[in-house]
Amino acid sequence: MHYAKELTALTVKINLEEKFMKNKIILAGILVIILVSGCTQLEPVKNNGAADNQNRTKDNSDNGSAPKTFSLSEIAKHNNADDCWLVLSGKVFDVTEFIPSHPGGTAILEGCGKDATELFENRSMGSGTPHSDNARTLRENYFIGNLQ
């Protein structure tokens, strides 16, 4: 009888310990799931416009294939604020996205759909001086190809 009691107590203890162990394993499992799902849901931080533009430049120049060429008649179709291509020194730029942030305001619209080299260099509607080096660097973000 005495042994039987001890045996039951022992069995209960083991059972309890097993339960705790199971709980611990379940908890650990849940933690792992939370951690893993948390990590996989972490999206890379969205990049700003500049990076997008870099990609666009890449598409046309850095991917091993020759840059596209466009005729003046094709460029002439993109002649408004919602779709503005222009030619500067033989290179074609899609500046549509840049228009709202152009420091010279809507003056840039005068160049849409045409060879705007003269306008870019003279700024006859503005200071009458050429654009800065900064402006020349900036425009490369919008390069889409060469003039045919």
Provide the binding-site residues for ligand HEM, judged by CB under 6 A.
86, 93, 95, 102-104, 107-108, 110-111, 116, 119-120, 123, 125-127, 129, 131-132, 134-135, 138-139, 142
Nearer to ligand HEM, 13 or 58 (CB): 58
Residue 91: phi, psi to the nearest 5? Answer: -110, 145
Question: What is the smallest separation between the CB atom of 62 and ligand HEM, expressed in angstroms?
Answer: 19
Other CB atoms within 10 A of residue 142 CB: 21
By beta carbon distance, the residue nearest ligand HEM is: 126
Nearer to ligand HEM, 37 or 129 (CB): 129
Whole-angstrom Cα distance, residue 116 to residue 109? 10
In this structure, what is the dihedral angle of CA atoms 113, 115, 116, 117, given to the nearest 10 degrees? 160
Question: What is the smallest separation between the CB atom of 115 and ligand HEM, expressed in angstroms?
Answer: 10
Structure tokens at 67: 């840059």
